[in-house]
Amino acid sequence: MSESLALLAALPASAHTSLAFILGLLTGSFLNVVIFRMPLRMQYEWTAQYHEWLNKTEYPEPAPAGLVFPASHCMSCKTALKPWHNIPVISFLILRARCATCKTPISWRYPLVELLTAILSAVVIHHFGLSWQGGAVLLLTWALIALSFIDLDHQLLPDDIVLPMMWMGLGLSLVPLFASPSDAIFGTIFGYLAFWSVFHIFKILTGKQGMGHGDFKLMAVFGAWIGWQYLPQIILISTLLGSIVGISLMLFKKARGEMAIPFGPYIAIAGWCAILWGAEINEAYFRFAGL
């Protein structure tokens, strides 16, 4: 095992980046499963708890698929995918975006998630190299991709993904890889309170909810990972991105004033950029502002 790791470490940086790209493709295939199945599983569990609370004898059936079992299958004809039908991106192209059995069209989002995961994984390893930092940020990157697409689909940021990432960030501060323990703790608290305060002020002024509680927790994740110092940058960039997208949708009449626009993806983008290039972004901003 140690010899294999030594051999891997001896490879050039370009090889590490290429391997990260391939690993990202494979991981992206699994993330597609998580993005689709986790919200269904959560809704089922909520319904089951509701039935149990009301002492109802009937039970919501059938239970949706888990994250690992059963194996991937066509949602239309229920045919299990053969291994050669499940090769990231390549199978999609060979099958011409259709099920091999029933010819039902397959969404382009599946290969897009796989490619996005591959590209971001390669960027992470290119930036951090084959290191503990690189490995940790890979895990966070994959979690952020799943969270972003789930939020886009369901306006939901599952605690089953968010909270482990927050505790992981706090745990890494003990090393520390990115932030000191004190910076991570204050970052977690201030990250949560930042959008919690905005939420309650907006609710008092308008009587409406401007964002979900998952957004507070996602900000806490980044506070735990890189400390409180980068929170203003993340808030500024995520708000700017969300405003640009929201205004654009309204201008093109694809969104109404009452339409919920998920904010999690913009926090994820801003936070991910802060982890990789936070210092450079701050330096560029201060130089632009003449500070």
Taking the C-alpha atoms of residue 109 and residue 168, their distance in angstroms, rounded to an integer, is 29
Q: Which of 65-69, 165-169, 226-230 has the lowest mean pLDDT?
A: 65-69
**What are 49's two structure tokens?**
């708890």
Residue 111 has pLDDT above 90, yes or no: yes
On the 0-12 / 13-18 / 19+ scale of CB atoms within 10 A, 112 is middle
Using CA atoms, how far residue 116 sits from 96, 137, 156, 214, 262, in Å, is 20, 15, 21, 23, 19
Residue percentage of the chain with pLDDT more than 70: 91
Query: Who has greater pLDDT, 114 or 68?
Result: 114
Give the model's pLDDT for residue 78: 75
Taking the C-alpha atoms of residue 113 and residue 35, their distance in angstroms, rounded to an integer, is 10
Give the model's pLDDT for residue 290: 75
Query: Who has greater pLDDT, 179 or 285?
Result: 179
By C-alpha distance, which of 135, 106, 156, 115 is closest to 27?
A: 115
Question: Do the beta carbons of residue 94 and residue 85 sit within 8 Å?
Answer: no
Region of 65 please: left (phi>0), alpha (psi -120 to 50) or beta: beta
Q: How far is CA 155 from the centre of its chain?
A: 13
pLDDT digits (tens, 9 = 90+) for 220-244: 999 999 999 999 999 999 999 999 9
**What are 17's two structure tokens?**
């980046």
Q: Which of 78-82, 111-115, 174-178, 194-198 has the lowest mean pLDDT?
A: 78-82
Phi, psi at residue 106, to the nearest 5°? -105, 135
**What are 154's two structure tokens?**
């369901």
Taking the C-alpha atoms of residue 187 and residue 230, their distance in angstroms, rounded to an integer, is 9
Query: Who has greater pLDDT, 9 or 34?
Result: 34
Sheet strands (E) in 87-200: none
The pTM assigned to this predicted structure is 0.92
Give the model's pLDDT for residue 275: 98
Give the model's pLDDT for residue 1: 58
Query: Who has greater pLDDT, 44 or 267?
Result: 267
SS3 73: strand
- Range with the largest mean pLDDT of 171-185, 192-206, 242-256: 171-185
Give the model's pLDDT for residue 189: 97
**Per residue in 141-154, is it b (16+ CB within 10 Å) or e — as a string?**
bbbbbbbbbbbeeb
**What are 207's two structure tokens?**
């009587």
Angle in degrees, CA 161, 91, 148, rounded to 5: 25
Q: How far is CA 62 from the centre of its chain?
A: 28
**What are 108's two structure tokens?**
């382009």
Taking residues 55-64, report their average pLDDT: 65
Taking residues 145-159, report their average pLDDT: 96
Taking the C-alpha atoms of residue 71 and residue 83, their distance in angstroms, rounded to an integer, is 10
Count of CB atoms within 10 A of residue 74's CB?
A: 18
Using CA atoms, how far residue 30 sits from 24, 113, 144, 146, 288, in Å, is 10, 10, 14, 10, 42
Question: Do the beta carbons of residue 125 and residue 135 sit within 8 Å?
Answer: no
DSSP state of 85: G
Query: Who has greater pLDDT, 222 or 51?
Result: 222
Give the model's pLDDT for residue 81: 78
Query: Who has greater pLDDT, 62 or 167?
Result: 167
How many residues appear in the chain? 291
Give the model's pLDDT for residue 233: 96
Give the model's pLDDT for residue 110: 94
